[in-house]
A and B are shown apart, each in its own frame.
Chain A
């Protein structure tokens, strides 16, 4: 399941971000009648066709797997958070329909009609992400239902469940991350092209456009990420403690940069400590109290090593990506050009943005462990008892490796 999700998420974010680029490029073509924009749009449309197909089928697997692997989770939560899933189904439907029109309609529709069919793709792609993450947010802060004393579901308010407290912070963060990854991946492709000597107008334009998206999105990712962390400090203190590697409950809590949290020593080793910074960041008050892991029973804590390192990976890479964007625009403004070392940096930024996003996903998923529904249902209680899980896991892992490598080969060959 985790593998499927990790795989799907990488394709899905491109499904959110690429249509936006497509619509803008084609819109610029309609405005300026400059064929270069059209060439870009058509090129990206071809790439998007493959990515969408793989994203779509891996998404189907997920919806199946929810039931196959977590029958008790779905039996419990299906009626509570099924609503965003159903809404996502419709968003996905819209996306698939207009994608068909868009990809196969170049000759059958007028240019303006064709451009218009791109817009619902971009909107429904973003909507899909919003709906699905609502369900994930609910797993973090489950609301909108009542249990009787025996633990049976008594009444459900699906709207309240969809609009649970985490939705407000988690949803925007995921959405902008999708644009971050798309922006940097596209930029990486064109930066690589320029490094190999294809320094033409198309490459320059594509790079500029993707960097506009990447820069705007990385700034927003910083802001939304910051509010997410502050939200965790309030609502999921144990997750917050784990991702910051904080063991003792204390005022003026230090910020740990890097390092490995060791349960046996109740502290983070090898970390750079910034005194009082954590309290300051979390509550805007250097004397604010931060609750540490030791305050929570061991069987309700996530694995702090994984969560803390993932968190630092995400934040560290995010900051580097931001820095790179600033440098890119600064140099363009000052010198009007982009030096080779910066192009190399942008090539690295593509994969780095994917790593940052996956690390962020690790933070939210592993940070919630051992719970699948925070405070209500444990992962171990929800998993399937069906046989042959191991082989199924290996099978899907192999399929994903195959699909990912084929996709990569096909996409790279387009440029070659």
Chain B
């Protein structure tokens, strides 16, 4: 038991060491005689945190679902569909900014609800239900946009992506708010304890009076809501959306959550780990961009990272 606690602490500390090591490695790798340490440039570092913010917002939802021993493979498509919905409401139907934002967030929560019901009431395994939803939602996003790209949003909407609050870029502000609220909910409320209880041992949780079905559905609703929020921030920042905009988030999100120490075995959510791992991931992406590694190698690297992270997690758990 003591060994287990020690190695858990060691693992947590190791994550920060990896963060520093990756930062140093990237700084050295991307140094050029002409421009010096481009990686450590203040703008570049800010850029990394901004990119990590979108990833963190989605990954917080995934951390909560994994804590309850479920997984949401549809996050990328939820992001696509909700952002496309907001985009088309703003651009083509003249809805007000708050209305579009509210609609996208509600849609995200609703899609999470469908995921949750498919799993709890129909009884589909989580990865089959959510992987199926991935393709359905992509289909609808594609249908709504008629295969096109949509761009150019009103400035009052773009504030949530490229505005600043007290000098901090909005994506980072949104991420911090999401992180603090989720941290409080997961670690300091009854609801949070129930996510852990359900993930650790669903039968035990049920017998001690937890409505596990409702807890699982809640986890998916949160995950859908946060994916929608991330999508809004993303398209407000990039000023455009398309049906595949969220496709490239699934693997990095899973990688980040597992690298952060949240186990696929359930009952072990580590939000701070998710945050640190997302920063590592954003640094790796950023470094690859500076080094002009072709984009087609990205999913190779991220795929290997996912596998390595889970293997490492498994190995440490067996030792502990």
Question: Does A associate with B in a complex?
Answer: no
